[in-house]
Amino acid sequence: MNWEKTGPKQYELRQGDHVLANMIIIGSAASCTIGSRLIQVKRCGFWQSVIEMTDHNGQVLLRTEPVNWYSSKSRFTWQTLPYELGIRNSPLAEYYITQGGREVLAYGLKTQHGKAVSVMTVTEKIPAEDATELHLLLWFLFHAVAEGETIDGIPTEALVSVISA
C-alpha cells in the first residue's frame, strides 16, 4: 500500500493496481474520493486544531478534538469506537492513531541509507479497505512533512511496514 503523487497536491492511495482513494489538497482542506463517495477534510476553529471529515451531504464522519489546548493529542470517534490521534518526534516526525491504547496506524519518517523516507505503519487489526478514512486523515496531516523532508519529495513507493496486532 502506498500514496502516489499524481499532480500538484494530488495523491492516490493504492494497494497494488487498485486505487483505494484520491485526495486533492486545497489550502487547509482536502477533497477526497473513496470509490464514488466524496469526502471533505478540513481544519476548523480559531487555532485550526480541529479536523473535520464530512461526506457529500455535510454529515460529519469524524471530528478530532484536542485533548487540551497545548496537547499534541486529539480524540475522535469513528465507527462508534473512540480513537486518539497524536504526533511525536522520536526520532523523526510521526503521526499516529491509537484505539484502546494500541497503535493501529502511523505515518512517519525513517532513515534509509542516510536519506529520509516516508513510512506507513499499519497493524493487522484494521484491514486497509475498512480504514481508508483513517488513511485520509493521516495523509491530510502528513503529506507536507513527506514532501518537505524526503530527499526527492514523495518516493514513488512509500515503504510499508506491517506490524502484527
pLDDT recorded at residue 156: 41
pLDDT recorded at residue 150: 54
Closest CA to 51 of 70, 30, 35: 30
pLDDT recorded at residue 119: 74
DSSP, collapsed to helix, strand or coil, labels residue 25 as strand
pLDDT recorded at residue 3: 86
pLDDT recorded at residue 19: 94
pLDDT recorded at residue 73: 94
Q: Where are the domains of the chain?
A: 2-163
pLDDT recorded at residue 109: 79
Cell of 5: 503523487
Instruction: State how far the Cα of 164 lies from the Cα of 161, in Å rounded to an integer.
Output: 10
**Which residue ranges of the chain lie beneath pLDDT 50?**
155-157, 159-165
pLDDT recorded at residue 124: 54
Residue with cell 499534541: 72
Instruction: State how far the Cα of 51 lies from the Cα of 45, in Å rounded to an integer.
Output: 9
pLDDT recorded at residue 43: 93
